[in-house]
A and B are shown apart, each in its own frame.
Chain A
Amino acid sequence: MASIELLLVFLVFASFIAYGLTKLNTFAGSVFTIFSMMFIFVSLAMYGLDLGMDTTVNYLPSIAFEQTYLGAFFALIITFIYLMVSFFHPYFIDTYKYKDTYNFLFILSLVGIIGAFYTGHFINLFFFFELVIWTTMFLIPQGKSEDAAIKYFGFSVAGSMAMLAGIFLIYQEAGTFAINSGLASLTGGSATVVFILFMVAAFAKLGAFPLHIWLPIAHGNAPHPFSPVLSGALVKLGAFIGILGLIKIAPSTPVFEAIDLPIGQYIIALLGSLSIVFGTLMAIKEDDAKKLLAYSSMSHGGYILVAFSMLDGIAFAGGFYHILAHALASAGAFMAIATVARATGTTKIKELGGMIHKMPITYLAYLIAIISMAGIPPMGGFVSKWLIFQAVTDQGLVFVGIAVFFGSVGSFLYVFRPLSAMFLGQEFSEYKDNKEAPLLMLIPTFIIMGLNIYTGVLPSGILNFINNIVVELGYASVTVTTFEVHGTNGILNPGLISLVFAVGIAIAFIIFILLKKSRKVGLMDTYTAGNFVHDEHVFHYSEDFYAPLERLYEKHSHWMTVFYKALAHKVKELGHMCQYLFMSKHMSASILWIVAVIFLVLVGELL
């Protein structure tokens, strides 16, 4: 029996020990971080899965824990990503400005995460959320840009404030801070307002359209090993709030007969669709591999929103499975990019080429991750997308369908770009002496590769656990047998698909091996249309990869940035006005305002 309270206390102490150790020796501090992450993960996995955690609180003041399958699912995934990423720390931490604090803040942010998922009390939830935001805010600027942290913080705080307002409203209506009963007791107008406020919080954390602007900036500029955490783990906090708002507030009755969804849920599904389309289009034209993956996270956030707004057991199962599959896929892809960035010092696609020749394992890790991300069998992403598609086709959501299919095909385009331009193509002479990542970094790479495949081949174990969550939320579970997943209008057998795929590969391999052996030639020994090419840099196609497609929409691709710039400008102007009015150099103005405020207060008292 593991007590959540003790786990959290342990983590807090561990964070201080990690700080001290890192100050003495960065490697020792990082190894300590790995072991404490392992301890937490193993404890959660051992007892958390069947809700065997001890929730009693003996030491911490005014904190109450409660365990649900929903919380356990999220906590476990995120802790797993933390554990995997911590293996990268020893090789990256020396490059940071404030390296002593890195492990400290890293561990401390996990306190917030586990606390947030194991609490049934709104104020606790808010506190733990803030803890996550405040710790990660100091982690992000250790990467490339400090500006990124400000944007991340701005959007996160906007989301948290919206949530806080919602929490107070719930308290006012229901008189309780308990999450489940508070949300369930809402009716009428206040339900709508809380729904909107929670959705704002969810969108801001998830980086969904229209609150997505921070996502590529934060992901792209965060320290390399922290980007997988941001995309695979922290963004999922938004999904959690989204679930609270979309499912736990009693949904209203459908308005349109044809679309069998409450209007609020339908709007969220449409906004999720917009996230998918925008994320995909922006990812296609992005030149930085990390930002590209960040936009893909945005598009996958859209899938998650679509899944949870459909109010259907199969869609929920798809959504939960997608959370897991995307966490694994994006962590895998980001970690592969981090490995490349460590070896080359850049994440710009056009500055890289032919990394596969020196880093084949990293290449395979990236390949498997993107196959899952694009939803191609036999990886986990296919199972989740299949479940979501089942729900979309069954409910006949045409417009959502456009986005869902567009995102799915579009993801082939954008994930292929780093694959083609970074890993394949001409091998650049400056990277000829690169080496594969060290063993410690390959451990998580292999684990994530294995899990990406496992989730795609044998989803039944995980889906059975997800069924617990779906039932807990009050919806019908998905029928799952050892090999089969039953959707509304068909059966999927991922194991069989993998087997058949293996048979196909075997046949192709036999054909290949039976035929005459080919002569090995170099990469520059290719068809050049009669030109003499002497420099591999000019013989590598990586910049503006989808130029003909980008031309069609690049003129319109900046309007969100322009809008937010204008908004920021207006807020600044407002600030200037306040400054001018209230904080001017003239004493008289200040006194005037003080008198005015006192007057207003007195009038208020008199009324």
Chain B
Amino acid sequence: MIGILIGIGIAFFGFVLQTSIGGINRKIVGRLQKRHGPRWYQEFIDIFKLLSKRSVCHGWIFDFGVIMALGGIIATAMFMPVTSSIVAFENYDNFFIYVYLLAVGMLGMAMSASGSGNPWASIGVMRALTTMLAYEVPFLIVALTILNLTDYSSLTDIMLYQQAAGNSWFLIALPLGGIVGVLALMGMLGKKPFETYIAPAEIASGPMVEYGGKQLGMLFIMHEITVFIEVSLFVHLFLGGASSIVEFLIKYFIVYTVVNLISNVNGRFKIDQVVVFFYKWPLFMAVTQAIIAIYFGWVI
């Protein structure tokens, strides 16, 4: 019971954290482009404005999908450890839960978008799923390497393994895998050049085309928590996790900002280019890394 309360706390913390850091990043990107950028709490204003508005509904699956999306993501976030001691369900923070429970949320969103009846929403879903097929495989191969080396699949244990004396962070221990991790993280977050499925500045089509009001607001919340889960996953897997909350905040901020900065100096791939890209170098690097680390045992 107490675990569930902690879990809800973590999900809420994740939402607040990511929304704030997202806001700060908008400011940073603004400065990068010689603008002032919005205030750091602009994202909160956007979300609460949307939640307060009256909107339309295209049938029960449209609403049900949104609830399933947000619910699935909240559930995933509840399992996420923040530091090596702050974790809602000890021993149950299994790596595969994040990959697959996250998919429930995605499925909910996809279902809701298709349920709107707008074909452009379905096209957006198609792109999102195709992107997912592209980045997941290299990422999971690197994760397989890490799980095989540590003999743990619990995130807390992987974190503690990296923090133990004599072991370095997996970003350093597995340099090729680390690069793949960064690229996959950019894919997961939908950052340029892999942001084809949202492509906000160009086309109206995308999973979100039919949303407004509370549904869109809830999907925004879902998106913020998803980003929290994905960035935290990267921090815990590759950057040794965190032993204190300050350390976590610093690492989280750095990872998100760096990824965002890389994203902002890039163009955008077409969807098939995303697939070809991920199945060329990142997969090659991930497999090379796995063979080097598992079969030869060469780990820095």
Query: Given that A504-B78, A508-B67 are known contacts, is A490 also in contact with B144, CB under 8 Å in the complex?
Result: no
Q: Which residues of B lie under 8 Å from residue A363 when comparing CB positions?
A: 61
Q: Which residues of A lie under 8 Å from residue B209 when comparing CB positions?
A: 526-527
Q: Which residues of A lie under 8 Å from residue B214 when comparing CB positions?
A: 512, 515-516, 518
Query: Given that A393-B148, A398-B141, A405-B137 are known contacts, is A489 also in contact with B210, CB under 8 Å in the complex?
Result: no
Stretch at the interface among B115-123, B167-175, B257-265: B115-123
Q: Does B35 contact A (CB under 8 A)?
A: no
Q: How many residues of B contact A (CB 8 A)?
A: 92
Q: Does B24 contact A (CB under 8 A)?
A: no
Q: Which residue of B lies closest to A553 (CB)?
A: B275
Q: Of residues 137 to 180 in B, which have CB atoms within 8 Å of A's CB atoms?
A: 137, 140-141, 144-145, 147-148, 150-154
Q: A402 to B111, Cβ gap below 8 A?
A: no
Q: Which residues of B lie under 8 Å from residue A402 when comparing CB positions?
A: 137, 141, 283, 287
Q: Which residues of B lie under 8 Å from residue A385 when comparing CB positions?
A: 100
Contact with B along A375-387 (1 / 0, CB 8 A): 1110000100110
Q: Does A491 contact B (CB under 8 A)?
A: yes
A-B interface contact total, Cβ < 8 Å = 268
Selected from A367, A413, A511, A541, the residue in CB contact (under 8 A) with B218 is: A511
Q: Which residues of A lie under 8 Å from residue B287 when comparing CB positions?
A: 398-399, 402
Q: Which residue of B lies closest to A375 (CB)?
A: B100
Q: Does A503 contact B (CB under 8 A)?
A: yes
CA distance A521 to B275 in the complex (A): 37
Selected from B63, B152, B221, the residue in CB contact (under 8 A) with A518 is: B63
Q: B94 to A424, Cβ gap below 8 A?
A: no
Q: Does B21 contact A (CB under 8 A)?
A: no
CB distance from B3 to the nearest CB of A (A): 8
CB distance from B100 to the nearest CB of A (A): 5
Q: B125 to A416, Cβ gap below 8 A?
A: yes
CA distance A496 to B93 in the complex (A): 11
Contact with A along B1-22 (1 / 0, CB 8 A): 0001001100100000000000
Q: A512 to B75, Cβ gap below 8 A?
A: no
Q: B137 to A356, Cβ gap below 8 A?
A: no
Q: Does B86 contact A (CB under 8 A)?
A: no
CB distance from A522 to the nearest CB of B (A): 8
Q: Does A492 contact B (CB under 8 A)?
A: yes
Stretch at the interface among A157-165, A225-233, A543-551, A590-598: A543-551
Q: Which residues of B lie under 8 Å from residue A496 when comparing CB positions?
A: 89, 92
Q: A490 to B94, Cβ gap below 8 A?
A: yes
Selected from B7, B95, B106, B272, the residue in CB contact (under 8 A) with A500 is: B7
Query: Given that A398-B290, A409-B136, A518-B57 are known contacts, is A506 also in contact with B119, CB under 8 Å in the complex?
Result: no
Selected from B63, B94, B215, B295, the residue in CB contact (under 8 A) with A396 is: B295
CB distance from B80 to the nearest CB of A (A): 11
Stretch at the interface among B36-44, B47-55, B230-238, B239-247: B47-55
CB distance from B40 to the nearest CB of A (A): 24
Q: Which residues of A lie under 8 Å from residue B103 when comparing CB positions?
A: 374, 376, 412
CA distance A529 to B121 in the complex (A): 13
Q: Which residues of B lie under 8 Å from residue A412 when comparing CB positions?
A: 103, 106-107, 129, 132-133
Selected from A389, A393, A511, A522, the residue in CB contact (under 8 A) with B70 is: A511
CB distance from A318 to the nearest CB of B (A): 12
Q: Which residues of A lie under 8 Å from residue B73 when comparing CB positions?
A: 504
CA distance A495 to B218 in the complex (A): 26
Q: Does A603 contact B (CB under 8 A)?
A: no
Q: Does B31 contact A (CB under 8 A)?
A: no
Q: Which residues of A lie under 8 Å from residue B71 when comparing CB positions?
A: 501, 504-509
CB distance from B209 to the nearest CB of A (A): 6
Q: A405 to B141, Cβ gap below 8 A?
A: yes
CA distance A523 to B153 in the complex (A): 44
CA distance A409 to B74 in the complex (A): 21
Query: Given that A516-B54, A518-B54 are known contacts, is A376 also in contact with B75, CB under 8 Å in the complex?
Result: no
CA distance A548 to B274 in the complex (A): 10
CB distance from A504 to the nearest CB of B (A): 3
Q: Which residues of A lie under 8 Å from residue B52 when comparing CB positions?
A: 515-516
Q: B148 to A526, Cβ gap below 8 A?
A: no
Q: B67 to A512, Cβ gap below 8 A?
A: yes
Contact with B along A526-564 (1 / 0, CB 8 A): 110100000000011100011011011000000000000
Q: Which residue of A lies closest to B297 (CB)?
A: A258
CA distance A546 to B132 in the complex (A): 13
Q: Does B199 contact A (CB under 8 A)?
A: no
Q: Which residue of B lies closest to A426 (CB)?
A: B117
CA distance A499 to B101 in the complex (A): 13
Q: Does A524 contact B (CB under 8 A)?
A: yes
Q: Which residues of B lie under 8 Å from residue A545 when comparing CB positions?
A: 122, 126
Q: Does B30 contact A (CB under 8 A)?
A: no
Q: Does A390 contact B (CB under 8 A)?
A: yes
Q: Does A187 contact B (CB under 8 A)?
A: no
Q: Does B85 contact A (CB under 8 A)?
A: no
Q: Does B268 contact A (CB under 8 A)?
A: no
Q: Does A151 contact B (CB under 8 A)?
A: no
Q: B75 to A500, Cβ gap below 8 A?
A: yes
CB distance from A61 to the nearest CB of B (A): 52
Selected from A393, A499, A524, the residue in CB contact (under 8 A) with B147 is: A393
Q: B148 to A396, Cβ gap below 8 A?
A: yes
Contact with A along B84-115 (1 / 0, CB 8 A): 00000101101111001101101100110011
Q: Which residue of B lies closest to A393 (CB)?
A: B147
Q: A527 to B75, Cβ gap below 8 A?
A: no
Q: A552 to B276, Cβ gap below 8 A?
A: yes
Selected from A386, A493, A504, A541, the residue in CB contact (under 8 A) with B75 is: A504
Q: Does A357 contact B (CB under 8 A)?
A: yes
Q: Does A425 contact B (CB under 8 A)?
A: yes
Q: B61 to A424, Cβ gap below 8 A?
A: yes
Query: Given that A416-B107, A518-B55, A539-B117 are known contacts, is A504 also in contact with B72, CB under 8 Å in the complex?
Result: yes
Q: Which residues of B lie under 8 Å from residue A382 when comparing CB positions?
A: 100
Q: A512 to B147, Cβ gap below 8 A?
A: no
CB distance from A434 to the nearest CB of B (A): 16
Query: Given that A489-B147, A552-B275 are known contacts, is A523 also in contact with B117, CB under 8 Å in the complex?
Result: yes
Q: Does A585 contact B (CB under 8 A)?
A: no
CB distance from B198 to the nearest CB of A (A): 16
Q: Which residue of A lies closest to B270 (CB)?
A: A548
Q: Does A333 contact B (CB under 8 A)?
A: no
Top 7 A-B pairs, shortest CB-CB distance: A523-B117, A504-B75, A505-B71, A490-B153, A541-B119, A504-B74, A508-B70
Spell out B's residues near A (CB within 8 Å).
Answer: 4, 7-8, 11, 51-59, 61, 63, 66-76, 78-79, 89, 91-92, 94-97, 100-101, 103-104, 106-107, 110-111, 114-120, 122-123, 125-127, 129-130, 132-133, 136-137, 140-141, 144-145, 147-148, 150-154, 204, 209-210, 213-215, 217-218, 221, 270-272, 275-276, 283, 287, 290-291, 294-295
Given A398-B294, A425-B114, 6 more pairs with CB closer than 8 A: A386-B94, A401-B140, A413-B129, A424-B114, A489-B150, A508-B71
16 interchain pairs, CB-CB under 8 A: A376-B104, A377-B101, A393-B153, A396-B144, A398-B291, A421-B122, A424-B117, A489-B152, A491-B94, A492-B92, A499-B4, A511-B70, A519-B57, A523-B117, A545-B122, A548-B270
Spell out A's residues near B (CB within 8 Å).
Answer: 258-259, 354, 356-357, 363, 367, 371, 374-377, 382, 385-386, 389-390, 392-394, 396, 398-399, 401-402, 405-406, 409-410, 412-413, 416, 419-421, 424-427, 487-493, 496-497, 499-501, 503-509, 511-512, 515-527, 529, 539-541, 545-546, 548-549, 551-552
